[in-house]
Amino acid sequence: MKISKLWLDKFFDAPLPSAGELSNALTFHTFEVDGIERIGKDDVLDVKVTPNRGHDALSHRGIAKELSAILQIPLAHDPFNNKSDISKTTGEVTVKIDTPLCRRYIAGYIKGVKVGPSPAWLKERLEAIGQRSINNVVDATNFVMFNTGQPLHAFDAGKLPKGPSLRETKDGPLYQIGVRMAHEGEVLIALDKKEYALTGSMLVITAGDKAVGIAGVKGGMPAAIDESTVDIVIESANFDGVSVRKTAAALKLRTDASSRFEQGISPELAARGMEGMLEFIRHQIGGTIEGFVDVYPTPQPPMYASVTVEKVNQVLGTQLTGADVAGVFTRLGFGYKEESGVFEVHVPPERLDIAIAEDLVEEVVRILGYEAVKGVPLPALNITPEVNKEFYAAEAAREDLQAKGYSEVFTSVFADKGERVVLNKVDGVKPYLRASLLPGLSDVLAKNKPNKELLGLKEIKLFEIGTIWKDGKEVTMLGTISEKGKPLEVALAANESATEYQTLPVSSAERYQAFSKYPYIVRDVALWTPAGTNPDDVKESIKKEAGELCVKIDLFDTFSKEGRTSLAFRLIFQSFERTLTEVEANEIMEKIAVSLKAKGFEIR
Amino acid sequence: MEESSARGHIHPISSLIREANAIFSKMGFTFASGPLVESQWYNFDALNVPKDHPARDMQDTFFVKRENKEESEQVLRTHTSGLQIRYMTEQMKKGILPPYRVIAPGKVFRNEATDMTHEAEFYQIEGLAVGEDISLAHLKWTLETFCSELFKGSAEIRFRPSFFPFTEPSIEFDVRAVGENVPEKLRGRWIELGGAGMIHPQVLENCGIDSKKYRGWAFGPGLDRIAMLKWAIDDVRLMHSADLRFINQF
């Protein structure tokens, strides 16, 4: 999530340390930071919130809370301690929840708002984190979401459908808000002006039983806020994470709201969101607060988790004290009771990730810092490890084939045909699991053949130890292929008598050398040399003339006749930048010939 | 390029697995393996990855059509972590209680587009230690010992917080190795290696192990990544290219 440094500063009495320091603090205590971007006078951190913390940390408040604990700076202005009161009720709005997938719905009815542009500071904050400013009301709902983690929505009350039953009696409600499953084929034009066909597994928000929003995903166009809006209904609700995720995925409409709901958030946050919005109404937007409706059938029970100091030290292998543990809970703002080494922690409602002792151990170690854990040798074991008989056999086969000049390849398990089929291959090609290693080996044999001279090989010989699926079984096979021999594939039999691993050589390569992707050209040169000529000297002089494009020179043939020795060299030319032409190679060979002749050698 | 010899070459990943087994074997770790087509229980459920987890969505996991109606839909394993479950479950069925020490290297799959750093088929190495007295401090030592031998120097390990459904606490670990034989590109620098953590008590229980009595840790870095670091390989696709211009360098 994009986190603005200037935004974070507002939670504290004094500006925080630099963005770089904050990034470091978060990386080593909470979340990785992918980067810091300078935007205007602000620094924006790209914080990789882990899935277990989507409940509370996809918000500036959540990140500020973490920084407060890590850096030990009090969170002086916590929006969760907002003194706004949302207890005033209104009879003008009713809310009816027809599904267990909505755990809470708070509607706030505000009359006489003044819709207009947002103040400069609000625009700056939102734009810093990549949001577009729309108007003061919509921006306020977005600000509260990015501030607290609770998505909000504002409806233009004047445009909400008012069902036929409304105002039948003098004190009947003006607006009937509902939450229900969509009807199959129900259609809604969302705020992105696109039409969405809904299905019976999707949640909708209704007014007078007509869909006005896709719950937790996006509001509907019919009740959009614009310059003409006078009265508004604010929604701060809680929707089931799985349902929202599936709806957003099915409609290909993943929004900032849906990505928060899909993590599963506490219904307690709905109140924090509405309180945050109320602040905006009071100080920025104006209007009369008519009142609220809060439907919350089953409030979230208080959450507790307990851990002992002994357990903390057992899991971590540390020698922390009760005071160390207590210090972390205080820094995190967790209420706790301690009795003879047992900490019973009252978990804040938004921290849905904390349930068991190990969760608290993690809180302790990450806030203190993982450097508290020092390496300790594993306890000695009396058991000798078993020898894996299949691995033993595979290793023996590798050694055997390597000695015979075979090189090991890995080819893909995906194939054009086979017994078992993969249901969701992205590209749709090779959707089967291979039933033999040989087609793959034969392909890569052909691919390697043109490089034979470059590799300095007389024959390409390959092997693979790999899995196939055949006759209803998954089997490890050993396949070999070479230019001259017959391809062979046998099941790799476990070596049942193996008792101890052999010590086999590992690669001594120091580093990989990139190779050219362009074709190479082969040229031979043979010459007569007087007796006593050192072939290495001849090779050196060829090398000097051949230049950088010559990547390999091999002496491949020698014979002597009548006191002279014939030396035959094979040269390989290749460029890293382009395909060489025959003409280029011939020109270099001509240069070499001239130089060899000048040295008195006779070119054959 | 080196002069050729009559002897062939083993794949760099095979060489790494061989080396890892030699190092871990000395520390009492058994080499374990398991099938590539895996049940959703071993790959997800037993590892605390809930049914509705995004990772189980079509995009990330290859689903393999069931062979008969009795079978549930299977997957190409997305990690080697399922091998933890297999090993522990099998031991418990045989009546063999912890301590356990296991490494389990093998091929894993992700249903994603391939580029220089992503492959649909790649290799991971799982490590696991379970006992009555196993702690995160032992994990740190084990990784220090392994990395010191692998990178031929003296390695320090650094933990950072992370999240995996099957470990609690969860960490990422970085390594910094010093010494003249350490590959130059790695020497003295912090390098991110992979994920690890203390096995979640529910995961132990899912294998039939009493989580009140036993604890353990697991790690699962990518072998392709380790190979790329060790030998300064710039494109992961080379690993599966079957190109001897690459393989014969090892």
* B110: contact with A, CB 8 A cutoff: no
More confident residue, B60 or A164: B60
ipTM of the complex: 0.94
CA gap B4, B11 in Å, rounded = 16
Which pLDDT score is estimated for A167? 54
% residues pLDDT > 70 (chain B): 96
Does position B122 have pLDDT exceeding 60, yes or no? yes
Among A389, A397, A385, residue whose Cα is nearest residue A497? A389
Interface check for A31 against chain B (CB to CB < 8 A): the answer is: yes
Instruction: Determine the Cα–Cα distance for residues A138 and B164; give it in Å rounded to an integer.
Output: 36
Confidence (pLDDT) at A59: 97
Q: Which CATH architecture has domain A521-603?
A: 2-Layer Sandwich (3.30)
For the residues B108-113, what does the mean pLDDT come to?
87
Closest CA to A517 of B165, B241, B57, B65: B241
- Describe the crossing of helices A120-128 and A136-148 by its angle, rounded to 10 degrees: 50
- Assigned architecture for domain A303-372: 2-Layer Sandwich (3.30)
Strand partners, A468: A475
Which neighbouring-strand residues pair with B101?
A: B129
What is the reported pLDDT for A122?
Answer: 96
Return the pLDDT at A600.
Answer: 86
Q: With bands split at pLDDT 50, 70 and 90, how would you rate the model's confidence at B1?
A: very low
Helical segments of A98-162, H only: 120-128, 136-148
Query: What is the average pLDDT across A289-296?
Result: 96
- pLDDT surpassing 60 at residue A402: yes
Interface of B with A in 79-98 (CB under 8 A): none
Two tokens at A83? 């003194």
pTM comes to 0.90
Q: What angle do CA A262, B63, B55 make, to 5 degrees?
A: 25
CATH architecture of the domain formed by A389-491: 2-Layer Sandwich (3.30)
What per-residue confidence (pLDDT) applies to B2?
39
- In this complex, do A314 and B135 lie within 8 Å of one another by their Cβ atoms? yes
Does the beta-carbon distance from B160 to A27 stay under 8 Å?
A: yes
User: Are A515 and B246 a contacting pair at CB < 8 A?
Assistant: yes
Distance in Å, alpha carbon of A596 to nearest chain B alpha carbon = 24
The answer to whether A261 faces chain B, any CB pair under 8 Å, is no
Q: What is the pLDDT of residue B11?
A: 97
CA distance A514 to chain B (A): 8
Task: Name the residue range of residue B122's domain.
Answer: 12-244
A358–B242 C-beta distance less than 8 A: no
Does domain A2-77 match CATH 3.30.56.10? yes
The more confident residue out of B55 and A71 is: A71
Flag whether residue B213 sits within 8 Å of chain A, measured between CB atoms.
no
Asked if B159 and A373 come within 8 Å (Cβ–Cβ), the reply is yes
| pLDDT given at position A428 | 79
Angle at A199 between CA A223 and CA A243, to 5 degrees: 85
- CA pair distance A106, A154, nearest whole angstrom: 12
State yes or no: pLDDT of A162 exceeds 90.
Answer: no
- Interchain CB contact of A323 with B (< 8 Å): no
Q: For B41, phi and psi rounded to 5 degrees?
A: -65, -55
**Residues whose CB is less than 8 angstroms from the CB of residue A129 and which lie 6 or more positions away in sequence, other chains included:** A2, A3, A4, A7, A44, A146
CA nearest neighbour of A240 among A103, A57, A428, A147? A103
The model's pLDDT over A129-147, given as tens digits with 9 standing for 90+, comes to: 999 999 999 999 999 999 9
Length in residues, chain A: 604
Q: Which residues of A touch B135 (CB under 8 A)?
A: 314-317, 376
Strands A420-421 and B121-131, sheet pairing: unpaired
CA A38 to chain centre: 23
Q: CA–CA separation, B141 vs B134, rounded Å?
A: 12
**A249 contact B CB<8A:** yes
What was the pLDDT predicted at B52?
78
The answer to the question of residue B93 being in a domain is yes
Q: Pick the residue with more confidence: B60 or A201?
A: A201
Cβ contact, residue pair A410, B240, below 8 Å: yes
Decide if pLDDT at A372 tops 70.
yes
Strand A210-214 vs strand A203-207: parallel, antiparallel, or unpaired?
antiparallel
Nearest to B175 by CA among B200, B161, B154: B154
Decide: residue A487, CB within 10 A, 0-12 exposed, 13-18 middle, 19+ buried. Answer: middle
User: Looking at residues A340-353, what average pLDDT do you find?
Assistant: 96
What's the Cα-to-Cα distance from B238 to each of A372, A425, B8, rounded to whole Å? 40, 21, 18
What rounded mean pLDDT belongs to chain A? 93
Residue A488, chain B, CB below 8 Å: the answer is no
Contacts of A421 in chain B (CB under 8 A): 64-65
- Is B138 touching A (CB cutoff 8 A)? yes
Residues of A within 8 A of B64 (CB-CB) are 420-423, 433
Give residue limits of the domains in chain A. Answer: 2-77, 93-295, 303-372, 389-491, 521-603
Mean pLDDT for all residues in chain B: 91
* Comparison of pLDDT for B66 and A10, the residue scoring more: A10
Contact B160 A421 (CB under 8 A): no
CATH of the domain at B145: 3.30.930.10
Question: From the CA of A28, how many Å to the nearest CA of chain B?
Answer: 5
- Within-domain flag for B7: no
Residues of A in contact with B99 (CB under 8 A): 379, 381, 383
pLDDT of residue B55 exceeding 80, the answer is no
Alpha-carbon dihedral sign for residues B237, B241, B242, B244: negative
Cis-peptide, bond into residue A299, ω within 30° of zero: no
pLDDT-derived band at B197 (thresholds 50, 70, 90) equals: very high
Contacts of B186 in chain A (CB under 8 A): none
pLDDT higher than threshold 60 for residue A168: no
Are A90 and A173 spatial neighbours (Cβ–Cβ below 8 Å)?
no
Instruction: Sheet containing A2-4: give its strands across.
Output: A2-4, A42-48, A32-39
A8, β-bridge pairs: none
CA distance B133 to chain A (A): 7
Q: With cut-offs at 50, 70 and 90, classify the pLDDT of residue A166.
A: low
Interface test with B, best of A512, A539, A571 (most B CBs within 10 A): A512
Cα distance between residue A257 and residue A270, in whole Å: 13
Provide the b/e sequence for A47-81 (b: ≥16 CB within 10 Å). Answer: bebbbbbbbbbbbbbbbbbbbbbbeebebeeebbe
pLDDT over threshold 80, residue A173: no
For A268-285, b where at least 16 C-beta lie within 10 A, e where not — what string? bbbbbbbbbbbbbbeebb
Partner-chain residue, chosen from A362, A376, A395, that has the shortest CB–CB distance to B141: A376
Residues A364 and A320 sit within 8 Å (Cβ to Cβ) = yes
Mutation target to probe the B interface, by most B beta carbons within 10 A, among A33, A34, A392, A407 is: A407
Contact flag A375-B232 (C-beta cutoff 8 Å): no
Q: Is B53 exposed, middle or buried (0-12, 13-18, 19+ CB in 10 A)?
A: middle
| Most A CBs within 10 Å, among B3, B11, B132, to test the A interface | B11
Distance from CA of A164 to the nearest CA of B (A): 40
Answer yes or no: are the C-beta atoms of A78 and A60 closer than 8 Å: no
pLDDT at B58 over 80: no
Q: Is the pLDDT of residue A55 over 80?
A: yes
- How big is the A-B interface in CB pairs under 8 Å? 266
Residues A227, A229, A231: CA angle, nearest 5 degrees: 155
Instruction: Let me know if the fold of A2-77 is the same as that of A303-372.
Output: yes
Q: Testing the interface with A: which of B2, B31, B60, B94 to mutate, by most A Cβ within 10 A?
A: B31
B28 touches chain A (CB under 8 A): yes
* Beta-bridge partners for A337: A344
Please give the Cα distance from A337 to A360 (Å, whole number): 14
Burial of A129 (0-12, 13-18, 19+ CB in 10 A): buried
Q: Given the DSSP bridges, would you call strands A335-339 and A342-347 parallel, antiparallel or unpaired?
A: antiparallel
The domain made up of A93-295 has a fold known as Phenylalanyl-tRNA Synthetase; Chain B, domain 3 (3.50.40)
Smallest Cα distance from B170 to chain A, Å: 8
pLDDT of A270 reads: 97
Confidence of residue A193 (pLDDT cuts 50, 70, 90): very high
Residue type, A557: D
Instruction: Look at residue B4 and tell me whether its pLDDT is greater than 50.
Output: no
The residues facing A415 across adjacent strands are A432
Q: Give the mean model confidence (pLDDT) for residues A216-223.
A: 94
Triad A130, A132, A138: Cα angle to 5°: 125
Q: What would the two tokens of residue B42 be?
A: 């071993």
Q: Does residue A164 surpass a pLDDT of 90?
A: no
Smallest Cα–Cα separation from A567: which of A532, A522, A598? A532
Domain count, chain B: 1
Identify the residue among B2, B7, B18, B56 best suited for mutation to test binding to A, counting A beta carbons within 10 A and taking the highest.
Answer: B18
Does residue B149 fall inside a structural domain?
A: yes
- From chain B, the residues in CB contact with A356 under 8 A are 168, 201
Q: What does A421-442 look like in DSSP terms, one character per residue?
A: EBTT-TT-SS-EEPS-SHHHHH
Centre a 10 Å sphere on the Cβ of residue A386 and count the other Cβ atoms it contains: 11
Interchain proximity A376–B138, CB inside 8 Å: yes
The torsion of the CA quartet B156, B162, B164, B167, rounded to 10 degrees, works out to: 60
For residue B144, give the nearest of B135, B134, B130, B154 by alpha carbon: B154
Query: Counting beta carbons within 10 angstroms of the beta carbon of residue A508, is it exposed (0 to 12), middle (13 to 18) or buried (19 or more)?
Result: exposed
* Chain B interface includes A429 (CB < 8 A): no
Cβ distance of B250 and A370 shorter than 8 Å: no
Q: How far does B161 lie from chain A, in Å, by closest CA?
A: 6
Yes or no: say if A293 and A93 are a contact pair by the CB < 8 Å rule: yes
Within a domain: B250: no
Kindly state the average pLDDT of the residues A246-257.
95
Rounded to whole angstroms, how far apart are CA atoms A102 and A104?
A: 6
Task: Identify whether B4 is part of a domain.
Answer: no
Q: How far is B28 from chain A (nearest CA, A)?
A: 5
Question: How does A198-212 read in b/e, with b if 16+ C-beta sit within 10 Å?
Answer: beeebbbbbbbebbb
Q: Is B120 part of any domain?
A: yes
CA distance B100 to B87: 9
B117 interfaces chain A, CB cutoff of 8 Å: no
B190 touches chain A (CB under 8 A): no
Cis status of the peptide bond prior to B169, with omega within 30 of 0: yes
B157 Cβ under 8 Å from any chain A Cβ: yes
Q: HEC states along A144-201?
A: HHHHHCCCEEEEEHHHCCCCCCCCCCCCCCCEEEEEEECCCCCEEEECCCCEEECCCC
Among A40-49, A335-344, A559-568, B65-74, the range scoring the smallest mean pLDDT is: B65-74
Q: Could you give the angle at the alpha carbon of B96 between the alpha carbons of B95 and B99, nearest 5°?
A: 150
Percent of chain B with pLDDT over 90: 81
Q: CA A30 to CA A52: how far, in whole Å?
A: 11
| pLDDT over threshold 80, residue A490 | yes
How far A38 CA sits from the closest chain B CA (Å)?
A: 26
Angle at A351 between CA A349 and CA A292, to 5 degrees: 40
The helix (H) or strand (E) run that includes residue A405 is none
Q: How many residues does chain B have?
A: 250
Cα of A172 to nearest chain B Cα, Å: 42
Nearest to B232 among A245, A359, A511 (CB): A511
Question: From the list A358, A474, A513, which residue is nearest B168 (CB)?
Answer: A358
Confirm whether B210 is domain-assigned: yes
Question: Within a domain: residue B189?
Answer: yes
| Contacts for A83 with CB less than 8 Å, ≥ 6 apart | none
